[in-house]
């Protein structure tokens, strides 16, 4: 059987038997892989160092005929984003984003998803980037990649969004609606949503004045966007 090598990110680990572990890995070329790492839970295992969470590693594996689960042959740690585990908020957010992506890629795993999660780790590892910016950006990117973006250009009635108006979000139309009395969404929020949905990385978004506060204020709405499309 041919040995294959790929960069990989661990999405899930399940203990199996006395010393083995079944891994769900995200890769840029092979999508999601389920592999067994034999003996990895033993103290002297050479595989353990290359399957750490919040890391990108090179994994050598073989696909087993007539089985959905392949076998890990060797691992080599590439980049470990160690600052994530030094902060509880960032650690918990990291787990949350991994779980969201694992669920979002049940039916499709384009290479873009690997880059998304790797960039999320880089941002979480950068302590100057507010967690709410990362959480908002990640969900907006998954929505964009899945073709489920809300309308961020016009009101529900088709009129262009006006920076001087207050809006509420109509979840049925997935668009903003002018609400001068109780609308809480204003120009700075719409600007942030557009940044989060665009090609910008969290580090660049964080450099724009006011985005940390806007992210915190937009995050409940973004979570609602996500729930409506992914039912989580």
Give the pLDDT of residue 110.
85
Give the pLDDT of residue 44.
86
**How far apart are alpha carbons 50 and 97 in whole angstroms?**
20
Tokens of 186: 């204003």
Give the pLDDT of residue 82.
95
Give the pLDDT of residue 231.
64
Instruction: Return the residue matching tokens 């999601």.
Output: 32
**How far apart are alpha carbons 168 and 141 in whole angstroms?**
22
Give the pLDDT of residue 227.
87
Give the CA angle between residues 117, 121, 126 to the nearest 5°: 145
DSSP state letters, 5-28: EEEEEEEEEEEETTTEEEEEEEET
Give the pLDDT of residue 66.
78
Q: Which of 226, 34, 26 is nearest to 146 (CA)?
A: 226
What's the distance, CA 154 to chain centroid? 27
Run means of pLDDT, 10 residues per run, the chain, 232 residues: 93 92 94 92 88 94 86 95 96 97 84 96 97 98 91 92 91 89 91 96 97 96 86 56
């Amino acid at each position: 059987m041919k040995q294959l090598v790929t960069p990989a990110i661990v999405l899930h680990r399940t203990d199996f038997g006395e010393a083995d572990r079944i891994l769900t890995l995200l890769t840029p070329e092979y999508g999601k892989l389920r592999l067994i790492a034999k003996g990895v839970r033993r103290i002297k295992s050479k595989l353990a160092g290359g399957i750490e969470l919040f890391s990108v590693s090179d994994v050598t594996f073989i696909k087993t005929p007539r089985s959905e689960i392949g076998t890990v042959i060797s691992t080599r740690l590439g980049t470990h984003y160690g600052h994530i585990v030094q902060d509880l908020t960032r650690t918990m957010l990291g787990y949350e984003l991994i779980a969201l992506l694992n669920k979002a890629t049940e039916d499709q795993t384009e290479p873009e998803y690997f880059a998304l999660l790797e960039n999320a780790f880089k941002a979480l590892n950068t302590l100057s980037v507010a967690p709410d910016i990362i959480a908002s950006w990640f969900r907006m990117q998954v929505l964009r990649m899945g073709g489920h973006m809300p309308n961020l250009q016009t009101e529900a009635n088709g009129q262009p969004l006006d920076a001087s108006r207050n809006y509420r979000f109509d979840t049925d139309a997935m668009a903003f609606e002018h609400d001068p009395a109780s609308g809480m969404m204003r120009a700075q929020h719409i600007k942030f949503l557009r940044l989060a949905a665009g090609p910008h990385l969290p580090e660049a978004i964080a450099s724009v004045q006011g985005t940390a506060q806007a992210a915190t204020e937009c995050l409940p709405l973004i979570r609602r966007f996500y729930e409506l499309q992914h039912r989580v």
